[in-house]
Structure 1
Amino acid sequence: MDQAVIDRITDSFAAQTMMETLGARLSDITPGLVRITCPILPGTRQQQGYGHAGLTFSIGDTAAGYAALTLIPTGFEVVTAEIKINLLAPARGTRLIATGRVIKPGKRLSIVTAEVHAEENGVQTLIAILQGTMVPVPR
């Protein structure tokens, strides 16, 4: 993968204060795939002590968007036009891992998915799937 694409994604991710607040980190960048890891911090839990669905959604949407950006020409960013989430299980554990993938790249629309896993004691459990549409926009 071209280093300029990796740098563009890394720099863009570093500018997202939301991801910084959540403690999220990029862990993998390849063409059409981006993985983000994120601890389940005390401030990101819901009333029963599990990771909040908002945390799950945030990192899933971000992983899917950056996966789309790996295939978008220089000079463009992407924005989410629509994305849906199916929550499958509680976010139990110490961290979440979101893997975004491009299903169909395009010049006007990119169709993406993300899977989010919760990790507890080294065991990963699929807790959510997302599907959406990213739109390239000029930088």
Structure 2
Amino acid sequence: MGDETADLARAQRVLAEQPFSVLLGTRITECGDGSATLEIDVREELCQQHGFLHGGVVSYAADNALTFAAGSVSAGGVLTAGFSIDYVRPAVGTILRAHARVINAGRSRIICRCDLSTVDHDGAERLCAVTQGAISVVETPTR
């Protein structure tokens, strides 16, 4: 078992280095021991024409949560190899929360699942999408 406080601090530093994540205002609230939770405040500019959070934002949150969960159990760097997403209902609320967890960790590939929910003004969560993804373990890439 790792040091979850150190894992979270490291994940927060990595997230802060992702310009797109900073643009969206993404927060990582949990990371370690095979799980990760990301949150994004739902804002008008992130919604589509019907007022629902755009599916691309939901998909981004899943992708990033999957890789952070995988990264918490990997000694190497991680990159998304692929994932599938099923939208359960339109994402309506004040916060999007993506909670991912490792299902199986191999040396070169890690399989994860992510549940995405919206949180309303009263704090009630409502599932809006589910994903499953494969994450490749790679040598730490350099810029």
TM-score tier by shorter-chain length is over 0.9
In structure 1, what residue type is equivalent to 2:47? R
Moved over 4 A (4+): none
Offset of residue 119 of structure 1: 1.1
Offset of residue 46 of structure 1: 0.6
Match of 1:47? 49
Match of 1:14? 16
**Quick check: 2:36–2:69 contact (8 Å CA) kept in 1?**
yes
Residue 84 of structure 1 pairs with residue 77 of structure 2 = no
Q: Identify which of 49, 56, 59 aligns with 1:57.
A: 59
**Quick check: 2:91–2:128 contact (8 Å CA) kept in 1?**
yes
In structure 2, what residue type is equivalent to 1:83? F
Offset of residue 4 of structure 1: 5.0
Matches within 5 A, 1:1-139: 1-2=2-3, 4-73=6-75, 76-121=76-121, 122-139=123-140
Distance 1:4 1:137 in 2: 22
Question: RMSD over aligned Cα, in angstroms?
Answer: 1.2
Offset of residue 95 of structure 1: 1.0
In structure 2, what residue type is equivalent to 1:89? R
TM-score normalized by the length of structure 1: 0.93
Offset of residue 7 of structure 1: 3.9
**Quick check: 2:108–2:137 contact (8 Å CA) kept in 1?**
yes
Aligned residues: 137
**Quick check: 1:22–1:41 contact (8 Å CA) kept in 2?**
no
**Quick check: 2:94–2:120 contact (8 Å CA) kept in 1?**
yes
**Quick check: 2:8–2:29 contact (8 Å CA) kept in 1?**
no
Unaligned stretches of 5+ residues in structure 2: none
SS of 1:29 mapped into structure 2: strand
Cα-to-partner distance string for 1:98-125 (whole Å, 9 max, x where unaligned): 0011000111100011000011122110
Deviates more, 1:56-65 or 1:4-13: 4-13
Q: Alpha carbons of 1:78 and 1:92: their partners in 2 closer, same or farther (altered >3 Å)?
A: same
Offset of residue 77 of structure 1: 1.4
**Quick check: 1:63–1:98 contact (8 Å CA) kept in 2?**
yes
**Quick check: 2:11–2:28 contact (8 Å CA) kept in 1?**
no
